[in-house]
Amino acid sequence: MSDLKRTPLRDFHAARGGRLVDFAGWEMPVQYRSILEEHKAVRRSAGLFDVSHMGEVDVKGPQALDFLERLVTNEVARLHPGKVLYTPMCAEDGGTLDDLLVYLRAPGDYLLCINAGNIAADLAWMTRQAEGFDVTVTDRSADHALLAIQGPASAAIVQSLTGSKLGLLTNYTFCEGTVAGVHCLISRTGYTGEDGFELYHAPADAVALAEALLAAGAPHGLELAGLGARDSLRLEAGFPLHGHELSPSISPLSAGLGWTVKLAKSRPCLAHAALAREKTEGSARRVVFFRTGDRRIVRADTPVRGADGATVGRVLSGTLSPLLNEAIGSALIDASAVDGGLRVDIRGTDIGLRTVRPPFVPLRRG
């Protein structure tokens, strides 16, 4: 795996039994001990994830807000310093190029966190869209490592290592502070549906910070968790993963993320016309979530058939819910067929899909 990019924690993972795989060109731990056990540890107490492969982008300048409002579908003007916004980023046709977090540090000074697999394409797109705006767009990915600590015990663990008052840090806010002596941007965000933090820090500090969090978390039941558990946790919570529930051919409206599309904002995004039309006419296809009552995993790209047997869509994501102990997933379905019976064939067995509104399990944070 010599061509793969490595985070500063690559050897840390290998030394702790991490099974390293190629993820979007990065050598990342998919699991340490067991995906199912790591998943349960996050729901029960806490898990520690290395997500340093994620990209970071600085957007600065007098017209940074105007530029970002044009770039993304959610309303960036709602941010105040210390607040975080989740938003899709769409092309003119409404297709989703990426989904990202926007951090407002100070007026005209934003940090974006983008998906690892999209870093190069996003930067090219953002740079092109920035023409005509008084703004600078800078790739800062190499300057950041990122650890996510997720689960109900996260706050107690991180609080034991920082003087920052985490009780004041509400969902989707952030502050700057030190954790175990390491300077961090402390963000109360995550991708599991649990309470938790994402800690942005300098790559040189990553091993020391990870070791301090593991040591402080051990009495609470904190476990290292890999990308396998990250995926099953986000699917159980009903969160989209770009390339699955969101993609250049799936708009945020199709994906059921209408709350992230602010068509009435004063500075419309560049996908405004396409998304306004889709909202009026209705999406031709919709992302639905399903459970099956069976343990056989319904894997991505499995065709989905409607009541009359015709193919009406395909599976986007599928896994076994470790808490429900049954297969769950998402599918992209022709809008006219969503309310009919949906079925899949798995190795000759006909299985019905029961559509549900996520999250699949009760979450402390939806």
Partner 1 sequence: MSNIPADLHYAKSHEWLRLAGDGTAVVGITDYAQSSLGDITFVQLPKVGAILAAGATFGVVESVKAASDLYLPAAGVVLEVNAALDAAPEILNRDPYGEAWMLKLKLDGSASAELLDPAAYASHLG
Q: What residues line the site for partner 1 (CB under 8 A)?
A: 19, 31, 34-37, 228, 232, 295-297, 299, 319-320, 347
CB count in 10 Å sphere of residue 342? 22
Looking at the Cβ atoms of 263 and 300, the one nearer to partner 1 is 300
Closest distance between partner 1 and the C-beta of residue 175, in Å? Answer: 36
Structure tokens at 117: 């697999």
Q: How far is residue 179's CA from residue 314's CA, in Å, rounded to a whole number?
A: 44
Nearest to 231 by CA among 222, 217, 220, 242: 242
CB 84 within 8 Å of CB 187? yes
The distance from CA 203 to its chain's CA centroid, rounded to whole angstroms, is: 21
CB count in 10 Å sphere of residue 81? 12
Looking at the Cβ atoms of 39 and 272, the one nearer to partner 1 is 39
Looking at the Cβ atoms of 73 and 292, the one nearer to partner 1 is 292
Looking at the Cβ atoms of 187 and 292, the one nearer to partner 1 is 292
Closest distance between partner 1 and the C-beta of residue 350, in Å? Answer: 15
Nearest to 174 by CA among 307, 85, 282: 85
Q: How far is residue 164's CA from residue 167's CA, in Å, rounded to a whole number?
A: 9
Closest distance between partner 1 and the C-beta of residue 35, in Å? Answer: 5
Determine which helix (DSSP H) or strand (DSSP E) holds 356, and give its type and residue range: strand 349-356
Looking at the Cβ atoms of 147 and 229, the one nearer to partner 1 is 229
Angle at 258 between CA 281 and CA 128, to 5 degrees: 95
DSSP summary character for residue 90? E
Looking at the Cβ atoms of 60 and 296, the one nearer to partner 1 is 296
Q: Residue 339: CB partners within 8 Å, gap ≥ 6?
A: none
Determine which helix (DSSP H) or strand (DSSP E) holds 98, and give its type and residue range: strand 96-106
Give one DSSP letter per residue of 17-37, joined into a string: T-EEEEETTEEEEEESS-HHH
Closest distance between partner 1 and the C-beta of residue 73, in Å? Answer: 33
Closest distance between partner 1 and the C-beta of residue 207, in Å? Answer: 26
Looking at the Cβ atoms of 279 and 299, the one nearer to partner 1 is 299
CB 246 within 8 Å of CB 115? no
CB 49 within 8 Å of CB 230? yes
Closest distance between partner 1 and the C-beta of residue 238, in Å? Answer: 18
Closest distance between partner 1 and the C-beta of residue 294, in Å? Answer: 8
Looking at the Cβ atoms of 39 and 53, the one nearer to partner 1 is 39
Closest distance between partner 1 and the C-beta of residue 133, in Å? Answer: 44
